[in-house]
Amino acid sequence: MNKWENPQLLEEHRLPPHAYFFAYADAETARSFARERSRRFLSLSGMWRFAYFDHPLQVPPSFYSEYMERWGEIEVPGMWQMQGHGHLQYTDDGMPFPVDPPYVPSSNPTGAYQCRWTLGPEWRGQRVVLRFDGVETYFEIYVNGSYAGMSKGSRLASEFDITDLLNEGENLLSVRVLQWADASYLEDQDMWWTAGIFRDVYLIGKGAIHVQDVCVQTRFDDACRDATLACTIAVSANTGWRLEWSLYDGARQLLQGGGKTLTWEASVPAPRQWNAEDPYLYRLEISLYDDAGALLEVVPLRVGFREISVQDGLMYVNGRYLKLHGVNRHDNDQLRGRAVTMARVEQDIVLMKQHNINSVRTAHYPNDPRFYELCDQYGLFVMAETDVETHGFVNIGNLSQITDDPAWEAAFVDRIERHVHAQKNHPSIIIWSLGNESGYGCNIRAMAARCREIDPTRLIHYEEDRDAEVCDVVSTMYSRVQMMNAFGEYPMHKPRILCEYAHAMGNGPGGLSEYQAVMDRHPHLQGHYLWEWCDHAILQPDVPGRPFYAFGGDYGDYPNSGNFCCDGLIYPDQRPGPGLREYKQVIAPVKVRAIDAAAGRLEVENRYWFSSLDCITLLIETRADGESLRVQRVPLPPLPPGQRQEIRIAEPPSGAGQRYLNVRVIRDQATAYSAALHELAVYQFALPSTSSLPARVVAEAPVLTEHRLDYRIEGLRFHMVFCKLTGKLKEWVADGMPLLARAPQLTFYKPCIDNHKQENDALWLPQHLNILQEHLRGMEVVRNGGTVDIIVDCQIAPPILGYGMRCRYHYRVNGAGQLQLTLSGTPYGGFRDMIPKIGMTLGVNRSLGQVEYFGRGPGENYPDSKACNIIDRYRSAAADMFEHYPKPQDNGNRMDVIWATLHDSHGKGLRIDAPQGIHFSIWPYSAEQIAATRHDNELREDDYWTVNLDHKISGLGSNSWGSEVLDSYRVYLEQFSYSLTLSALNKENGQ
């Protein structure tokens, strides 16, 4: 049996797991916490010799003992597919080979890696440990031609003692890596199938006597004030040493002790407690001496005083109730795949903190060990998930096939054991997760028992333990709002977490506010993790024109899951998307509500769990028609967590027009992740306002001329032409400028967003909503005093089927060229279901590239995703109002727009007025092109702007793998009527 097809064989010569730490030569160096400055550390990361083979046996025998001078090079860390070797494939839950555990393809892609290094005399007398922080999937190592061991478990560290195989001077390391192994069945985690040495490789030198392991735990007294620091240490030798330890608060020594005791406890009076809002860390220094008093090494550890408990079915940290507002995070880089740099990892954490996120789930595997250090320092509660997902078995109807097979128990347990041991000293980790989507069975029970045996201080999570038989947390994924409300009303005896929800694929997710309202309502609902943090698409920079992001199927891979990997709150290059900005607002830690905004009465609620509001200021501005009337700063009182208080401000000044009170919540002081005056949230409250109708220019009645095939209307510096054949406004010229490129067209469909794909495939395409036809049924032209009315009746319906809309375009044109347009329709036939929208589109002159509007912004917003956008006056280049998702789809909508202008650099253009408010978007591409295009870079700008002026738009939902659009945000094929006024814009009447 091949070693890589034997689930009983997990390793050879791999060292037992232990906590991640480093030893330093002295205390001063130890305080740097820089592992490269530890007493013996040599990084082997960099450029290695490499060759790729289709089969493990193709690796030449000489590889193991001879340096392959003629081979090419590869970067370590790295995935070999991202460096031009092998094949990329993306599947969500399918194994890319026949499911027949433990067997994998005989033609097993193999990477042969080599590096040379020189070991100096300073390494004499050291035990030399070779450490790999991550290798995917199976690997075996050879040192100077001798076999040194093998390991499995891609996202878990592996260490080998190679002392006896080394030379003083030059050494050769050869590593054979196989992409597929029995372990692959445990690592089907909704990501690109890639392979290689993707995390750092380094040597650690250890003295004959050294610290092998450290376990630090903290607990509080009943009052949650004074703490106990407990420490257990393992030393490599039974005799010949003594320990000294000191606890520091910065430079100040608080406690010290020592001796030959390996387990000790110390009382710490009223320490500053660690939490995600105040991640305060102390420093524990453990110094190891020999019997002669010589310092052998110093081990530094960051210590956060933190305790987790469950009382009456609720979770507490440091005796405080809390809720986890989190995200699921994969390792991903648009150029490097899972071989992420620590700079990128740190930026992920900074972005999370900037967007009010207080927790992260390491979906679905352990991260680089330095990730947890950053979470300790920046302040994130971590659900630390281990490297288990057997999702591929869902396709053969038995998700629990190996999860409930005792023959695989050792493989399952090994993963949680190594994970917990490695990260057990991090205060940021409050929950261990046993894995993801692997069914349920004896091996989950065994994992939970081993996890609890190693660390009884933290909670255990596993989503498919639905009855919480072995877990401390009840969990589901993608439960709808109504179901979460029921869970809250009828709670179980343990806290509940929604470990995945609101699938952020493409344009979305929608419905976050409704989810949050339910979460806030019920105490037992204590956490939710949005799926997911980052799009996994791969940048293709070397293509003609604009670079694009590739996804499943773009590499000839089949089967594949398409763009299902583009489901993140940030784009692959870490740019925040609209969904992240919405999530930030929805989970804002400071809520502001209006008691009576016009009277200056507001209510503030502190939704932090550990912090007061004594460093928070409200920046309050009264605006009318987009102009500022007054700005005031209101520092908040030190309101305790969970409390509300009325705040009185000066009454907003009066003024004409649309008045709003805008409230921005500002953090006064700089933090590790944000500058001073960082905005936490924004709120808006409508004030009593006066509406103004569009200015009416006095002019003589327009001249109507009838021709055989059209009607021509002329007036003050304009003319319009209406086609008798179609009823369409086919020409509109004002001041010599053609305004229209495509006639106004009623529409009930739009380019499908990812979160509507299920409705699109099951409902809209079968109903041919995408190919509706418009047929003229009547046209009447009437002089009406100083105006001309053109009334066009038409039928809009699909081929084949017997339903549709009987619609009317009612144009009213005055002598100044103002066009009042009333659009209406009545459905017929049997179809009354949900549709994407009711609206109108038209094409306008491409030179009108500047936009100004009064409505909701500045970003795109939809009925169920608008919390972070407020109504105001905005200016933008038209091109900047298009949101470039990796896969083109409907985007860029702005709600509650009462007027908008499109103009050129001279102020000429088109004005739209809709006092009742409409949805407005402008695209450089037609809807047809957007709908038909696979990648953003394939879009070609049209010679006109597509302008959408819509009456109703369905919400986004998250039904690419989450919740359908809620009923209150659905648009149905039903009777409608709405009106717009379109006017030519010039310098005389411009805004």
Quick one: tokens of 362? 């390491």
Tell me how far apart the alpha carbons of residues 518 and 527 are, in angstroms, rounded to a whole number: 11
**Preceding peptide of 901 cis, ω within 30°:** no
In the chain, the amino acid numbered 19 is A
Tell me how far apart the alpha carbons of residues 73 and 61 are, in angstroms, rounded to a whole number: 19
The greatest distance separating any two alpha carbons of the chain, rounded to the nearest whole angstrom, comes to 112
- Strand-strand pairing, 474-477 and 525-530: unpaired
Torsion angle in degrees (nearest 10) through CA of 248, 249, 252, 256: -30
The residues, any chain, with a CB within 8 Å of residue 293's CB and separated by 6 or more, are: none
For residue 223, the SS3 value is coil
Torsion angle in degrees (nearest 10) through CA of 16, 18, 21, 25: -60
For residues 789 and 810, the answer to whether their CB atoms sit within 8 Å is yes
Q: How many C-alpha atoms does 956 have within 13 Å on its Cβ side? A: 31
Quick one: tokens of 590? 């400071």
Tell me how far apart the alpha carbons of residues 234 and 128 are, in angstroms, rounded to a whole number: 18
93 torsion bin: left (phi>0), alpha (psi -120 to 50), beta (else):
alpha
605 catalytic per annotation: no
Cα distances (angstroms) measured from residue 893 to each of 587, 808, 837: 23, 25, 12
Q: Which of 531, 527, 567 is nearest to 549 (CA)?
A: 567
For residues 885 and 508, the answer to whether their CB atoms sit within 8 Å is no
Tell me how far apart the alpha carbons of residues 436 and 431 are, in angstroms, rounded to a whole number: 14
For residues 673 and 350, the answer to whether their CB atoms sit within 8 Å is yes
Q: Give me the catalytic one of 75, 417, 437, 774.
A: 437
Q: What phi, psi does 208 have (nearest 5°)?
A: -60, -35
Cα distances (angstroms) measured from residue 411 to each of 102, 363, 652, 702, 713: 12, 19, 66, 84, 80
Residue 280 CB neighbours (<10 A):
16
Strands annotated E in 105-221: 110-119, 127-132, 135-136, 138-143, 146-151, 158-161, 169-178, 187-188, 191-193, 196-197, 201-206, 211-220
Q: Give me the catalytic one of 5, 75, 307, 500.
A: 500
For residues 181 and 152, the answer to whether their CB atoms sit within 8 Å is yes
Q: Is the dihedral of CA 438, 444, 450, 456 positive or negative?
A: positive
Quick one: tokens of 750? 């739009």
Strands annotated E in 366-473: 381-385, 389-390, 429-433, 459-461
Q: How many C-alpha atoms does 355 have within 13 Å on its Cβ side? A: 27
In the chain, the amino acid numbered 396 is I
437 catalytic per annotation: yes
For residues 406 and 394, the answer to whether their CB atoms sit within 8 Å is no
CB-based burial, 147-169: b 16+ in 10 Å, e otherwise: ebbbbbbbbbbbbbbbbebbeee
Tell me how far apart the alpha carbons of residues 340 and 42 are, in angstroms, rounded to a whole number: 20
One-letter-per-residue 3-state SS of 558-606: CCCCHHHHCCCCECCCCCECHHHHHHHHHCCCEEEEEEEHHHCEEEEEE
Q: What phi, psi does 342 have (nearest 5°)?
A: -70, -25
Tell me how far apart the alpha carbons of residues 804 and 777 are, in angstroms, rounded to a whole number: 13
Residues with a known catalytic role:
437, 500
